[in-house]
Chains A and B, each alone.
Chain A
């Protein structure tokens, strides 16, 4: 086949695509309101508070520092217990000292990273799980009116998981020569921020 006929074929294909796209008919699908907004709101919510963000990143960092299987199991425990906390909030079951619990989560998780504490896996999961209840209770109950609860929940859980993943990714510096020091520095920063959150809560 000659170069000319090949080019002519390609040109014909491109022209067909171009004109066909311009010819598309109007389609009327089910029109629903608030669906995308619910997902986006849920996706944005975990990023809206620095205390929440730091705690979730800390979970990922600590998991990365502890290695397998904690690197995976801590981010499994956190969203499930967080959802449990949110459900408790939605049911009206009070959790005392929610804001203090959130501040303490940053202090404790930051200290664990700073001191490279390596407890048994069950203990690490329990620590993360208890603090996740406070975070869920505070943040998981704020569905704006008219938005899809399902899509909000999906966005909320996915964003939480992404923050853990960010923490794990940052925590991979642990494998580098100076990485351990950097990770412990990050832990000290998170713990210091936790002290600030606690001071702000108590004053």
Chain B
């Protein structure tokens, strides 16, 4: 009984503690983006940017379809490659406009939809390439704002997203769930194709 009461009070305490986090006073030290600091700016950048978030999810889905070994590789290589690209991006002055988002959507979406049996080396190469290229563009974008700490926020978020999503996919047992993941991949590829159309038409 006592244990039950102790448990029932835990959510209240957690919510109360969380609500206290909403209580910070104004701070004036370079917090002009999210107001929470550069690491949170990096986290916010990733989760609020579909061009980066959806390819990350696509890699997690692909890793999940390929099994735990691929999941572990994605978990290691994606954040590291992203960070390395980010460091490079933060040291250059500008980049030409490259349709990174649509290419990632199209290739990764098609790979998920086709459920191709990739070798571990090829899978790791794709993960590193995608992470590095997206990282370079993130590095350029965050250079004036969140900087390296922002990249660390992005890395942490990538790790969490890939860990949760790929583990979820690996755990799926019924055959239809695997096909549902492939349906999601086909949607990503379709979005990539539409994006290419808009790009060529000059509307995005």
The chain A residues found within 8 Å of chain B, CB to CB, are 1, 6, 9-10, 12-14, 16-17, 20-21, 23-25, 27-30, 68-69, 72-73, 75-76, 79-80, 82-84, 86-87, 89-91, 140-141, 143, 148-151, 153-154, 156-158, 161
Contacts and interface: CB of A to CB of B under 8 A. Distances in A.
Nearest to B25: A25
Contact of A156 (B13, B182, B194): B194
Contacts of B23: 20, 23-24
Given A16-B20, A20-B23, A161-B187, A27 B200 contact: no
A27 B197 contact: no
20 contacts: A16-B20, A17-B15, A17-B16, A20-B19, A23-B23, A27-B36, A29-B35, A75-B183, A83-B189, A84-B193, A86-B194, A86-B197, A87-B194, A90-B197, A90-B201, A140-B194, A150-B195, A150-B198, A156-B194, A157-B187
Interface stretch (B26-34, B72-80, B90-98, B116-124): B26-34
Question: Per DSSP, are chain B's interface residues mostly helix, strand or loop, or mixed?
Answer: helix
A157 B191 contact: yes
* Residue among A10, A21, A140, A149 with the highest chain B CB neighbour number at 10 A: A149
A156 B44 CA distance: 25
B32 A6 contact: no
B7 to A, nearest CB: 12
Interface in B30-82: 32-36, 44, 48, 50-51
B126 to A, nearest CB: 20
Contacts of A83: 189-194, 197
B55 to A, nearest CB: 12
B114 to A, nearest CB: 10
Contacts, number: 129
Given A16-B16, A17-B15, A72-B180, A153 B198 contact: yes
A89 B203 CA distance: 13
B148 interface: no
B203 A10 contact: no
Contacts of A6: 5, 9
Interface of B: 2, 5, 9, 12-13, 15-16, 19-20, 22-26, 32-36, 44, 48, 50-51, 101, 113, 176, 179-180, 182-183, 186-187, 189-201, 203-204
A83 B203 CA distance: 16
Contacts of B5: 1, 6
A173 to B, nearest CB: 18
A80 B200 CA distance: 18
B195 A153 contact: yes
Contacts of B26: 25
Contacts of B34: 27, 29
Contact of A28 (B32, B179, B201): B32
Contacts of B44: 29
A150 B204 contact: yes
Given A69-B179, A80-B189, A150-B51, 7 more contacts: A20-B16, A21-B22, A87-B196, A149-B198, A153-B190, A157-B190, A158-B187
Contacts of A12: 16
B117 to A, nearest CB: 18
A176 B23 CA distance: 57
A10 B5 CA distance: 11
A151 B22 contact: no
Given A28-B35, A83-B189, A157-B194, A72 B176 contact: yes
